[in-house]
Amino acid sequence: MAKVKITLVKSLVSRPADQRATVRALGLHRLHQSVVKEVSPAVQGMIHKVQHLLLVENDE
């Protein structure tokens, strides 16, 4: 399966609760923290919802 590296690059301050929950569900807690996830429809949907807060890169 393909993998992506997801990095939180913008703060969650003043963001709606659903966006905060989505970022937490991706496993991100601090600014500039990165996680590697396998691409699935659920992960793609979460990334799409908060794409303005994230940096997403292909991880091989």
Q: Where are the domains of the chain?
A: 3-59
pLDDT for 59 equals: 87
pLDDT exceeds 80 at position 60: no
pLDDT exceeds 90 at position 56: yes
In this structure, which CATH number among 1.10.580.10, 1.10.3720.10, 3.40.50.10260, 3.30.1390.20 belongs to the domain 3-59? 3.30.1390.20
How many helices (H) and strands (E) the chain has is answered by 2, 3
Cα dihedral 9, 12, 14, 17 sign: positive
pLDDT for 37 equals: 97
SS3 51: helix
**pLDDT tens-digit series, residues 17-44:** 999 999 999 999 999 999 999 999 999 9
